[in-house]
């Protein structure tokens, strides 16, 4: 009997509580990720991000209002990575692929995040979730 690697990965992540995104380990918040109209608006939105994730280390997933998974990433701490993505909106039109992706995918998002302390575990879970969730932005060409 042929084993299905995708099913095996799903089981592994389900057993750890990492999949699906609706398990009790995941946290989430709605966030309007659009280019700010003022520095005051930008600072207010950066505070919203910080108040939700604080200095935690872990994994995050961006999902848009149409339920499309946009991005899977990791952060140490999470607030730094999420604030970095938001700040890309204030740049002019960018030729950098990741910057352009965030500029092109603005709107109301749900940001899911999961605290994972260990660096190696964060790396592995990020890759496995990317394999399962098939985000619109793919960091690795193999998924």
Q: Which of 2, 5, 3 is nearest to 131 (CA)?
A: 5
Our separate counts of H helices and E strands in the chain read 5, 4
Residues of the chain with pLDDT under 50: 143
Classify domain 26-133 by CATH number: 3.40.1440.10
With b for 16 or more beta-carbon neighbours within 10 A and e for fewer, the 9-19 pattern comes to bbeebeeeebb
- % of the chain beyond a pLDDT of 70: 93
Residue 107: its pLDDT value, please?
92
User: Domain segments of the chain: what residues?
Assistant: 26-133
pTM for the predicted model, two decimal places: 0.90
Q: Are 27 and 38 in contact (CB under 8 A)?
A: no
- Whole-angstrom distance, CA of residue 26 vs CA of residue 20: 9
In this structure, what token pair is assigned to residue 43? 């600072």
Q: Are 34 and 107 in contact (CB under 8 A)?
A: yes
Helices (H), the chain: 5-16, 39-53, 78-87, 97-104, 119-133
Residue 2: its pLDDT value, please?
62
Instruction: Please report, in angstroms and rounded to a whole number, the separation of the first and last CA atoms in the chain.
Output: 25
C-beta neighbour count of 129 within 10 angstroms: 25
- Whole-angstrom distance, CA of residue 119 vs CA of residue 133: 21
Residue 143: its pLDDT value, please?
46
């Amino acid at each position: 009997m042929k084993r299905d690697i995708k099913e095996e990965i799903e089981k592994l992540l389900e057993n750890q509580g990492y999949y699906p995104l609706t398990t009790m380990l995941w946290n989430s918040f709605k966030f309007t990720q659009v280019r700010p109209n003022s520095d005051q608006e930008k600072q207010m939105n950066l505070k919203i991000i910080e108040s939700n994730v604080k200095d935690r280390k872990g994994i995050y997933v961006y999902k848009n209002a149409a339920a499309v998974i946009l991005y899977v990433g990791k952060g140490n701490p999470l607030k730094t990575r999420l604030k970095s993505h938001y700040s890309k909106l204030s740049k002019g039109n960018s030729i950098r692929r990741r910057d352009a992706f965030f500029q092109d995918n603005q709107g109301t998002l749900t940001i899911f995040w999961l605290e994972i302390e260990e660096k190696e575990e964060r790396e592995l879970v990020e890759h496995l979730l990317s394999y399962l969730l098939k985000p619109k932005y793919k960091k690795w060409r193999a998924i």
